[in-house]
Structures are given as C-alpha cells and as structure tokens.
Amino acid sequence: MKITEHVQRAIEQKKTAFSVEILPPVKGQNIQHIFQTLDPLAELNPAFIDVTYHREEYVYKKHLNGLLERKSVRKRPGTVAICAAIQNHYKIDAVPHIICGGFDKEDTENALIELNFLGIDNLLVLRGDPIKSESTFIPEPNGHRYASELLEQIVNLNQGKYLDDELLNSANTNFCIGVAGYPEKHFEAPNFNIDLGYLKKKVDLGAEYIVTQMFFDNQKYFDFVDKCRAIGINVPIIPGLKPITTKSQITALPKTFHVDLPDDLANELVKADENKRVKEIGEEWIVNQCKELIQNEVPILHFYTMSKSDGFVKILKEVL
C-alpha cells in the first residue's frame, strides 16, 4: 500500500496511525537484530517501516609504489535486503531511504529496478549528509547533487523513462515518493522561506508526501504545515518524533539535527541527575506531544527509534 493510501485510510477511519524508522544493523550482525527490535513494535501494527541508508566512508590505502587508493567502507549495509525481509516477514510496507551520495545515476537506476522487482512501492528521497571527510556534500561523478535531481530521475522511471532512451516498451515503475521537511529549517538553507521554496520544488516535481525532521515544540510543526499550505504544498506532512533518553542527547540532538529544545523541556532535562530521570522526562514530553498532535487530527505519527523498541512500545500504548 502507498504511504498516501495509509494516510487516507487513517483520515477515513478517524484514527491516528504510526510508523517507525530503523537503522540497518552494523556489519557483522544479522537480520535477527532487526527482528528483535521490530517484533514488539510490529504487534502494534505500524503503517510502515522506514529503513535508513548510511553512505560509505572512505579510507585510503597506500600501495608499495606510493600511490593512494581510495576505498569505500560501508558500516551498515543491506537497506534493500532489509526492506524485502521486513515486507516478507511482517507483511508491513517498508520504505527504503534513497540518497544521492555514493551513487551515480546508473547505480541509482539499478537499485530502483531491484526495489521495483521486490514489490517495494514507497521511497523516501534524500540528498544525504556529507561524509566526515567532506566539509560540504560532494556528489559522485555523474551523480546527483540535490534531492530534487534524484527525485526527477525516479519520476522519470515512473513514466517509463530510463537512462537508455533507446529502450523499447519499457515498463513504468510505480513508486510513491516522499521527501524530508524541516519545521526549523534545513541548516544549509540561507533562510526559512528559501528552504520552503526548495520543498515546493520537490512537491511540484512529484513528491507525494513529506516526513519532517524531529521537533520538540508542536507549534513549530503546526506553523510549518500552515506555511506549506500557504504556498501550495498540499501533500500529507507526517510529523517526525523522538524522545530524549540520555543526558548526552540534550546537547547531541540539537547539534546533530539542528533543532531547539523548548525552555520547559530543556530546564527539566538539565536538572535531571541521572539517565533514568532523563528518559522519564523525555517520554512524558513526547507522550504529550503525541496527544496534542492526535487532538489536531494528524493521521500518522512517525517515530525515529534508532533501532530501539524499549520505551516506544510504552509510548505507543499510552497514546494510540
């Protein structure tokens, strides 16, 4: 089922659904690691499950002749296979993240063909972050610099347009394409309105739904939705949520994801003297966030689980 259909069903049933995002296991672990995370969540019937993609880091190996060879190292392989396993095992729609970094256009087309063969109908399209050795994002040769360019390639495939324009009787793919939205602005955008303009461009190109970056102040989400609607962005906007669970996240999450913590939340977290209390505060806060979003008839809540189910089952049982 398409994500847009999940949204419409939740609206018709007047019942908020939920979805989760997980990380692929690190190299050396197997699919059971994923199943252990998802088993308790799957019992609560998520609408869909996102699987992130982690771009390769590069290492340099020096040969005897003194030349350096750049070699990519993937620490979390398997997004496509994990999505197939999830759909087969749980009969729940899986949504792979498709990114620009690490792929040229032909690599992307081949990956999309495989996903189409596997019956995976939904995608979340992202530019992806720079790797640690890059100060700014650097695309692969003959790759995509922007998510909008990647989105355009997928839309072309949905219309049966492949890179080889001499193909005859080429089959259309049928992907439902999502993109990311930033209620507090993408950190690289010069201002909020320009960031909204980039998002509008992606919707005009064919994006059918938006999943937001995490936020801790619902008013920022409501304002974001209002501003999107005002400029003609009318696709579903699914809120992304994550509870704070450790003291280190008090500074790490704002730094990494460029989000603010409301004063009330930040003050309580700073006063907490141990992780157990931080986790309680974080869960209480997100429960209240969820209840307010549900009161405002948000059809789907999306949770960034970081591949940990403990805490989320409790939260979901309390709010849904």
The pLDDT value recorded for residue 27 is 76
For residues 212 and 274, which has the higher predicted lDDT (pLDDT)?
212
Domain ranges of the chain: 3-319
Q: Are strands 209-214 and 237-241 parallel, antiparallel or unpaired?
A: parallel
The H-assigned helical ranges of the chain are: 3-13, 31-42, 79-90, 105-117, 147-158, 192-205, 218-230, 249-257, 263-271, 275-295, 312-319
User: Per residue in 18-52, is it b (16+ CB within 10 Å) or e — as a string?
Assistant: bbbbbbbbeeeeeeebbeebbeebbeeebbbbbbb
User: Per residue in 76-108, is it b (16+ CB within 10 Å) or e — as a string?
Assistant: bebbbebbbbbbeebebbbbbbbbbbbbeeeeb
Task: Measure the CA–CA gap between 27 and 247, rounded to whole angstroms.
Answer: 28
The pLDDT value recorded for residue 136 is 81
Band of pLDDT at residue 71, cut at 50, 70 and 90 = low
Residue 75 has pLDDT above 80, yes or no: no
Task: Measure the CA–CA gap between 218 and 232, rounded to whole angstroms.
Answer: 21
Q: Are strands 48-51 and 176-181 parallel, antiparallel or unpaired?
A: unpaired
Tens-digit pLDDT profile for residues 266-297: 999 999 988 899 999 999 999 999 999 999 99
Q: What is the mean pLDDT of residues 53-79?
A: 62
Q: Are 200 and 233 in contact (CB under 8 A)?
A: yes
Distance of CA 297 to the CA centre of its chain: 22
The CATH architecture one would assign to domain 3-319 is Alpha-Beta Barrel (3.20)
3-state helix, strand, coil in the chain (%, to 5): 40, 20, 40
Q: Which residues contact 97 (CB under 8 A, 6 or more apart)?
A: 50, 51, 52, 53, 79, 123, 124, 125, 126
**Packing angle between helix 31-42 and helix 312-319, nearest 10 degrees?**
20
The pLDDT value recorded for residue 135 is 74
Task: Measure the CA–CA gap between 221 and 215, rounded to whole angstroms.
Answer: 7
Tens-digit pLDDT profile for residues 80-135: 899 999 999 999 999 999 999 888 999 999 999 999 999 999 999 999 887 777 77
Tokens representing 198? 């980039």
Task: Please state the pTM of the whole predicted model.
Answer: 0.92
When mean pLDDT is compared across 60-74, 80-94, 195-209, the lowest value belongs to 60-74
Residue 140 has pLDDT above 90, yes or no: no
The pLDDT value recorded for residue 105 is 95
Q: Are strands 57-62 and 68-73 parallel, antiparallel or unpaired?
A: antiparallel
**What residue has token string 């290492």?**
59
Other C-beta atoms within 10 Å of 173: how many? 20
Of 293, 307, 162, 173, the residue nearest 221 (C-alpha) = 293
Q: Are strands 57-62 and 48-51 parallel, antiparallel or unpaired?
A: unpaired
Task: Measure the CA–CA gap between 157 and 214, rounded to whole angstroms.
Answer: 30
Other C-beta atoms within 10 Å of 222: how many? 16
Phi/psi for 108 (5° steps) reads -60, -45
